[in-house]
Amino acid sequence: MKRSMHLVLLLCLVLVLTISGCSKPEQAASSDGAAPAARQFVTIGTGGVTGVYYPTGGAISKMVNNQSDTYNLKVTVESTGGSVYNVNGIMSGDLEFGIVQSDRQYQAYYGTDEWEGKPQEGLRAVFSIHPESISLLAADDAQIETFTDLIGKVVNIGNPGSGQRGNAIDAFSAFGIDVDNDINAQGLQAAESASALQDGQIDAYFYTVGHPNGSFKEATAGARKAHFVDITGPAVDALIEKLPFYANSVIAIKDYPNASNTQDVKTFGVKATLCTSAAVSDEIVYAITREVFENFEEFKTLHPAYANLQKEDLLAGLSAPIHDGAMKYYQEVGLK
């Protein structure tokens, strides 16, 4: 009898130890911004591989992953369709972070445009990154010297869900041009635009992006000569006054020695911003914010578009509330 009882007790002890060993460790948050005890995985949605979003996401992930053991955090990067896709991915939980144009951030949070009547109140800003110019490149043989010369032409305005498509439509609207009837609008991905221009499939294309940019370098280096078109004048001034997330911008032509332009190009633009959801933990957002700011000089060397950034610039253009995890870091270092 005693032997049977001892056997039962031994089996119970083994069972308890087995269950304990299989349970997940608690994710205990620390007050100093360290990550939970269990390693977590997050994804940053970016954009096309030829733009600045993709290497920007890669730069952020590299910095955090260098401290992966400290934060118990692993960051991966996903090439996506752009700003609208990233906002929707964040809000659905498919992405934890996404790089989003400042205008799309504004529209999503306040429930306009693609989110008409459906404000994304859980959207949160982390920091802004670099200015992005709304850029228009046209083939020399298409005889497009001014914005209104686009009437009747084949123009790629960007794939549905991309930031540049919305910017292009805003620009056409400002100049009184009907996208559906006055031009032959195409919806190609940004990565397809340069080859489409060189192959004669389109006369011009828009791309909202930081400069210098690989797509424009490719498009201006081909046999079909091309040039940037100014997007300026009273129509743009009125648009900026109406939509304050836009600002005047300049494309430095020295970055494109093969373009036909002889002077810098005047246009307008937005800012790229890193966004997340209020549902993402303060610890994770704090870790990502801290690593970018603590390694800021290294971050600036990772792409020419970052060269003139100052830390204070990264808090401009945020039209959604700042996430509590990011705000914790900014208050610690006196930026807020």
Q: What is the pLDDT of residues 229-253, one digit of tens each?
A: 999 999 999 998 888 788 888 899 9
Q: What is the mean pLDDT of residues 183-190?
A: 95
The yes-or-no verdict on residue 119 having pLDDT over 50 is yes
Helix H or strand E encompassing 125: strand 123-139
**Alpha-carbon distance 151 to 211, whole Å?**
27
**Alpha-carbon distance 151 to 177, whole Å?**
8
Report pTM.
0.71
Nearest partner of 202 among 214, 227, 184, 177, judged by Cα:
184
Burial class (CB in 10 A: 0-12, 13-18, 19+), 110: middle
**Alpha-carbon distance 16 to 281, whole Å?**
32
The three-state secondary structure class of 322 is: strand
**Alpha-carbon distance 239 to 170, whole Å?**
8
Q: What is the mean pLDDT of the chain?
A: 88
Amino acid (1-letter code) at residue 161: G
DSSP 119: -
Residue 179: the pLDDT is 97
Residue 210: the pLDDT is 86
Prior bond of 212 cis (ω within 30°): yes
Q: Which domains does the chain have, with CATH numbers?
A: 40-131+272-333 (3.40.190.10), 133-270 (3.40.190.10)
Give the lowest-confidence range in 6-10, 66-70, 93-97: 6-10
Residue 73: the pLDDT is 95
**Alpha-carbon distance 151 to 155, whole Å?**
9
The yes-or-no verdict on residue 24 having pLDDT over 80 is no
Residue 14: the pLDDT is 39
**HEC secondary structure over 204-228:** EEEEEECCCCHHHHHHHCCCCCEEE
The three-state secondary structure class of 334 is: coil
Q: What is the mean pLDDT of residues 153-169?
A: 92
Residue 37: the pLDDT is 62
The yes-or-no verdict on residue 13 having pLDDT over 60 is no
The yes-or-no verdict on residue 12 having pLDDT over 90 is no
Residue 134 near residue 206, CB atoms below 8 Å: yes
Nearest partner of 42 among 95, 99, 98, judged by Cα:
95
113-120, long-range: CB < 8 A, 24+ apart: 113/166, 114/84, 114/161, 114/166, 115/87, 120/87, 120/91
- Count other Cβ atoms within 10 Å, centred on residue 8: 10
The yes-or-no verdict on residue 19 having pLDDT over 80 is no
